[in-house]
Structure formats: structure tokens, C-alpha cells
């Protein structure tokens, strides 16, 4: 978020890289065009509707400003964040809002036009100030003006619509409902003011393989559609008006990357099999229908984690059985018989508050979330199971229950599952009788007792994101402790080893759907620990497949054993890094997590 205006004229802004790759092209600022604002007469019956539109746009702008403020405060401190508070106060200003409403009613003109007029009047006044510091407030008024107009126009279109041609798309933030409109062939890159690695926009950008940077701070106001930009999805840097030398440098590394990607794509149809013949099931994590096709193109053998929460967060009401059924059928058809693991809804904290009477919790991560919601809202759980079961005749379905921490939870879920199956049988509705039922292992208690849980189900899938945070007692969004969040901690590795061993002893297969499975640095180690299935973020498919195909199972076992002898995460990463550099030097540029650059260096 620090802008440097170099002497040359290019501007560099640093955000958070969330999807690898380099985008070179012109900017398209989503819904920011003030020239499009024209006066339009509004029929009397529509006036109140127009006012609601303005209220909505202002609310959206204010919530963005609150988030920008929080983000800035975390990164740069309180003083830097204060300007967003000022912008928010402008949108709370009783005089300003009052004038807009009065004028919309009196002049019967469209909200965006009136808002523009009112704000430009203030700009006019500020521009006549003698005090230079006071005059600078014009920039704030302009920022607020564009932010609200963007939302007023945004309600009518989605990003990606109206793209004149391939462009780097800029937006304040994207809701899942908006992101899915992005057209892969037109969006060269994708950048937002808000967001983090785990935000929807980030997840989607990664799966669509669009270079992407989020958390750039207030950038939409600095850009005009058509400005030449470079977006670096490795370093998180945005360069506006790049110098010719900068451009040339980027074109070169872009070409290098493309060449390697092309090389890897050639082997993506080949099986994920080690040199000595051990088959690994390599699948993709997805959340949206749109991600299925690109994942299959990169050689995924199905979906190892389908996150269904998105359906529950899209609208204000919970999805009905028919809505879910239709979506599941669409996804199963796109998979053409490849297997898919449905993870039943995994909501918690604020995501669950709306529907599940969740109260403010002191410790949401230790609270009411995942499977713990099901018994009190059994009808919602049943409805989802019915939809999945009915859709199951269209493909190869597996079901996975999130946040299992003890045996009684998985037993309860199985009872409900059996009851729903009985209902369907009684009603003569066909479904697949052989659906495997699995437990997600992401709580240490579940990992430690994975043998007991494995006896109750057909497979286990390790979710590393929560497992790491619960095992190490580290909230990775807390910047005071986030450096202690280490997937390669000996304690986490031992839990993974035990889970795999317990699962195998009980005769069930064990997969992993957490972020660690996508990390190329972990691939050999996880093969060596005996993992049967990897479900990875789609962008990692090619590189993980390539690694699997280049190694022997016994060398992975040796590596895993040696890895487990180290005392710290640093030592483990150093060791894995040294092996990685030796064996996979040519893959380093394709490494989505920059494991080589970031870690494992002595």
C-alpha cells in the first residue's frame, strides 16, 4: 500500500499477491466512469426506489471504507487509517445526504447525477480555499464521489461486462456473486483495494489462473480506465504507467513463465504416478461451477473438496433443496463421471450469524461452527443431504463432514444420512447407494483419535489450515503471532503421520484438502507419509503432478522419515528446501507459493 512515485513517472503500489502470474495491459476500473453519469428523469412512482438505490450505494461505500480503515490500520497504523474515517463521516453527513434526497425528490432526477452535482459543488467551494492544506480536501471529496458512483453504477453491471477487450480489472472488492461474471479470456489480471489471500476474489482468481493482487488500498481512484499497468502476481506489486525498461523486464519473465507452463501442460494428461508405480489421486479444491472446467483441463482427477458454503452466503435466505440440487447437477455433469467430494456446509462466526442464531462469541474458532451447527439446524443439514443424494445418480459423489472433533459427531451425521436415505428410498427417489462418507480431520482431537473416527466412516481428509492453527494455538490472521503459524511444525507433521497411519490401519484411505497439499515443498513429504489423495488449489495441479511423476515412493518415505527427525519448522523447511532446489530447479518459477524464494534457505 505504499506508493512510490519514481522520478521516471511510473508509480508502484504494493499489495498482497494471491494468484501467480504477470498481467501486462491496460486498466479497466470497474464501474468508475464518471462520464457515464447523465441526468435522467425519474417517474414519480420510482423516486423512492431511486433513494433506496442511493442509500444502498452509500452503505456499500461505507462498509468498504470501514474495511479499508481496518486494513490500513493493521498495515500502517492508526494515523494512516484516519482518512478513511473522514470519508465515512462524509457519507454520514446529514447536510450532504439531506441535500441529495431533497434534490432527487424536487428535481426528479437520477441518484448518481444528483450525488455528482452535490459533491462537485463542495469541490468547487474547497477549490477556492487559500490554505493549501485545506484545498487538498478536494481529493477526499473526489474519492468519496467516485466510490459511491461506482456502486450506483455497479448495481447495474458486473465486472467484466463492458470490457472493451482484454484488460486488467480493478475493483474495490468483489462479492462471490460478482466474481463469477469475470470472463477468463478478457480478464488479464485482477486487482482489488480490499481482501486477503483467503478472500473469495483471491480464491477465484487462483482457480481461474488469473494473476491477482488484493489489498492494494485506495487505488481505483488513482486510475483511469485505459491507463497502462503491470500487475505482478508473484510480488504483489502494481505498476502504473510503467517505464519501457520495466515493461521489457516483465515481458521477459512473463514469457519464461508461459514457456514452463506450456511444458507442464503437456504432461497433465498423464497419470499422477510415481516412477515406481504408486498412484496418487490428484484432485482440485473448488467452490464454484466455473472452476470445474479449468481444473479438469489441468489434469485434475475430479474434485477433492467442493466447498458448498457459497450457496449459503449468496442470498439472504438459505438455499432450498431444489436450488442446491440444480447447482450440484450442473457441477456433476461438468465433471463427466470424475469423483467429487461434497463438503457439507462449513459455516462459523459471522458467516453463520445470519441464519443459525449464533451469538457474539468470545472465541469463534472454538465455538459454534462446522458440524456443531447441524443438530440445532437439522432441517438445513437434511435438505443439503437430500439435494446431494438426489444429484448423486449423475456422477461419483462422496460426502465429507467438516470440523469433526469426536466420534459422536460423525455417528450423529451418519444417523441423519441413513435417515435421509431411508426417506428417499420410501419415496422411490433414486440415488447412489454406495456414496462414501468421510470425516474431515482438522481438529487435533480428531487426528489423535483418527482410528476411532475411521471406524465410523469410509475415508478421512485432512484439513491443514485449521489443524495447524488449533495444534499450534495460533490465529494466523493475528499479525502478532502469525509468524508462528507453521504447517511444517514437527507437531503438525506428527499429527498428519498418525492420521494416515490410523486411517490405513482401519482400512480407509486418507487424503488432504488443506493448503499444505498445494505446497510443492510438501509434496514429496506427504507422499512419503503415505497420503493417498491430494486435493490442491487448481493453480498447483500442474506442478504437484510433475513432482509426483519425478519421484520414487521409497525416496519419499526416506525423506519423510528424516524430516520427522528435525526439531523445528525452520529445520524442516531448510531440509525440504535443499532437496527441492536440487531436484526441481527447473520448476521453481512455476512454484505458486514461492516456496523456494521464501523458505528453505540457510
Partner 1 sequence: MIEKRLTIKNKLGIHARPAGQLVKLASHYKSAIYISRNRTEVNAKSIMGVLMLEAGHGSEIVIRVDGEDEFSALAAIEELIDQRQFDEE
> Mind telling me the catalytic residues?
200, 513
Question: Could you tell me which of 332, 434, 436 has the C-alpha nearest to residue 387?
Answer: 332
Residue 67 CB, nearest distance to partner 1 (Å)? 18
Residue 92 CB, nearest distance to partner 1 (Å)? 8
Toward partner 1, which CB reaches closer, 92 or 378? 92
Toward partner 1, which CB reaches closer, 4 or 95? 95
How far is the C-alpha of 30 from the C-alpha of 13, rounded, in Å? 18
* Strand stretches in 73-166, DSSP E: 159-162
Q: What is the 3-state secondary structure (H, E, C) of 326-385?
A: HHHHHHHHHHCCCEEEEECCCCECHHHHHHHCCCCCCCHHHCCEHHHHCCCCHHHHHHHH
Residue 65 CB, nearest distance to partner 1 (Å)? 12
Toward partner 1, which CB reaches closer, 44 or 132? 132
List of residues contacting partner 1 (CB under 8 A): 82-83, 85-86, 89-90, 92-96, 122, 125-126, 129-131, 133-134, 137, 140
Residue 300 CB, nearest distance to partner 1 (Å)? 51
What's the chain's length in residues? 602
Sole residue written with cell 508461459? 258
CB atoms within 10 A of CB 341: 25
Residue 102 CB, nearest distance to partner 1 (Å)? 14
Residue 134 CB, nearest distance to partner 1 (Å)? 5
How far is the C-alpha of 77 from the C-alpha of 70, rounded, in Å? 9
Toward partner 1, which CB reaches closer, 91 or 406? 91
Sole residue written with cell 523445528? 568
Which triple of cell numbers denotes residue 260?
514452463
- Both ends of the chain: CA-CA distance in Å? 30
* β-bridge pairing 212-214 and 187-192: parallel
How far is the C-alpha of 445 from the C-alpha of 405, rounded, in Å? 6
Which triple of cell numbers denotes residue 27?
486498466
What one-character-per-residue DSSP string does 457-476 give? SSEEEE-HHHHHHHHHT--T
Report the helix count and the strand count for the chain, using DSSP H and E: 24, 18
Question: Could you tell me which of 434, 433, 432, 437 has the C-alpha nearest to residue 457?
Answer: 437
CB atoms within 10 A of CB 441: 35
Residue 53 CB, nearest distance to partner 1 (Å)? 22
Q: How many alpha carbons fall within 13 Å on the CB side of residue 398?
A: 24
* β-bridge pairing 4-5 and 11-14: antiparallel
Question: What does residue 437 show for φ and ψ, rounded to 5 degrees?
Answer: -115, 125
How far is the C-alpha of 534 from the C-alpha of 516, rounded, in Å? 10
Amino acid at each position: 500500500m505504499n506508493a512510490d512515485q519514481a522520478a521516471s513517472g511510473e508509480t508502484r503500489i504494493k499489495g498482497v499477491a494471491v494468484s501467480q502470474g504477470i498481467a501486462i495491459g491496460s486498466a479497466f476500473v470497474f464501474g468508475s466512469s464518471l462520464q457515464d453519469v447523465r441526468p435522467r428523469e425519474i417517474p414519480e412512482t420510482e423516486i423512492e426506489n431511486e433513494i433506496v438505490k442511493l442509500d444502498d450505494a452509500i452503505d456499500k461505500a461505507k462498509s468498504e471504507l470501514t474495511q479499508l480503515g481496518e486494513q490500513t490500520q493493521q498495515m500502517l497504523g492508526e494515523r494512516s487509517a484516519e482518512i478513511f474515517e473522514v470519508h465515512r463521516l462524509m457519507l454520514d453527513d446529514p447536510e450532504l445526504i439531506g441535500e441529495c434526497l431533497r434534490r432527487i425528490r424536487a428535481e426528479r432526477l437520477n441518484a448518481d447525477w444528483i450525488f455528482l452535482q452535490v459533491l462537485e459543488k463542495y469541490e468547487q467551494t474547497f477549490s477556492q480555499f487559500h490554505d493549501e492544506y485545506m484545498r487538498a480536501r478536494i481529493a477526499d471529496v473526489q474519492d468519496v464521489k467516485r466510490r459511491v458512483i461506482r456502486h450506483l453504477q455497479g448495481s447495474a453491471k458486473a465486472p467484466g461486462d463492458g470490457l472493451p477487450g482484454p484488460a486488467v480489472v480493478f475493483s474495490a472488492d468483489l462479492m462471490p456473486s460478482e466474481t463469477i461474471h469475470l470472463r477468463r479470456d478478457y480478464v488479464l489480471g485482477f486487482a482489488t483495494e480490499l481482501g486477503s489471500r483467503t478472500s473469495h476474489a483471491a480464491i477465484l482468481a487462483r482457480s481461474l489462473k488469473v494473476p491477482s493482487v488484493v489489498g492494494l488500498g485506495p487505488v481505483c481512484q488513482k486510475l483511469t480506465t485505459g491507463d497502462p499497468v503491470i500487475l505482478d502476481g508473484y510480488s504483489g506489486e502494481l505498476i502504473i504507467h510503467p517505464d519501457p525498461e520495466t515493461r521489457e523486464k516483465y515481458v521477459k519473465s512473463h514469457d519464461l513463465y508461459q514457456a514452463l507452463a506450456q511444458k507442464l501442460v503437456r504432461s497433465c494428461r498423464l497419470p499422477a504416478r510415481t516412477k515406481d508405480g504408486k498412484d496418487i489421486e490428484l484432485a482440485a479444491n473448488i467452490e464454484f461451477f466455473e472452476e470445474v472446467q479449468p481444473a479438469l483441463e489441468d489434469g485434475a482427477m475430479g474434485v477433492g473438496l467442493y466447498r458448498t458454503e457459497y450457496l449459503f452466503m449468496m442470498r439472504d435466505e438459505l438455499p432450498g433443496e431444489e436450488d442446491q440440487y440444480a447447482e450440484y447437477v450442473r457441477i456433476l455433469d461438468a465433471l463427466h463421471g470424475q469423483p467429487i467430494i461434497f463438503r457439507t456446509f462449513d459455516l462459523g462466526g459471522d458467516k453463520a450469524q445470519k441464519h443459525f442464531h449464533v451469538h457474539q462469541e468470545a472465541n469463534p474458532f472454538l465455538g459454534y461452527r462446522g458440524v456443531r451447527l447441524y443438530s440445532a439446524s437439522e432441517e438445513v443439514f437434511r435438505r443439503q443431504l437430500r439435494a446431494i443424494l438426489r444429484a448423486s445418480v449423475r456422477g461419483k459423489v462422496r460426502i465429507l463432514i467438516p470440523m469433526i472433533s469426536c466420534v459422536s459427531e460423525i455417528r450423529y451425521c451418519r444417523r441423519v444420512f441413513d435417515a435421509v436415505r431411508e426417506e428417499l428410498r420410501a419415496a422411490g427417489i433414486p440415488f447412489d447407494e454406495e456414496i462414501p462418507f468421510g470425516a474431515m480431520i482438522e481438529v487435533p482431537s480428531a487426528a489423535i483419535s483418527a482410528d476411532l473416527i475411521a471406524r465410523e466412516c469410509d475415508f478421512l481428509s485432512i484439513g491443514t489450515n485449521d489443524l495447524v492453527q488449533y495444534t499450534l494455538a495460533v490465529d494466523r490472521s493475528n499479525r502478532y503471532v502469525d509468524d508462528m503459524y507453521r504447517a511444517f511444525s514437527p507437531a503438525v507433521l506428527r499429527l498428519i503421520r498418525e492420521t494416515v497411519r490410523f486411517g490405513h490401519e482401519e482400512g480407509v484411505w486418507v487424503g488432504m484438502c488443506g493448503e499444505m497439499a498445494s505446497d510443492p515443498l510438501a509434496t514429496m513429504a506427504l507422499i512419503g507419509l503415505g497420503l493417498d489423495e491430494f486435493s490442491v488449489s487448481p493453480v498447483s495441479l500442474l506442478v504437484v503432478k510433475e513432482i509426483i511423476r519425478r519421484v520414487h515412493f521409497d525416496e519419499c518415505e526416506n525423506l519423510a522419515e528424516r524430516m520427522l527427525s528435525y526439531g523445528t519448522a525452520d529445520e524442516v523447511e531448510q531440509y525440504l528446501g535443499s532437496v527441492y532446489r536440487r531436484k526441481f530447479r527447473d520448476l521453481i518459477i512455476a512454484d505458486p507459493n514461492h516456496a523456494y524464494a521464501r523458505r528453505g534457505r540457510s
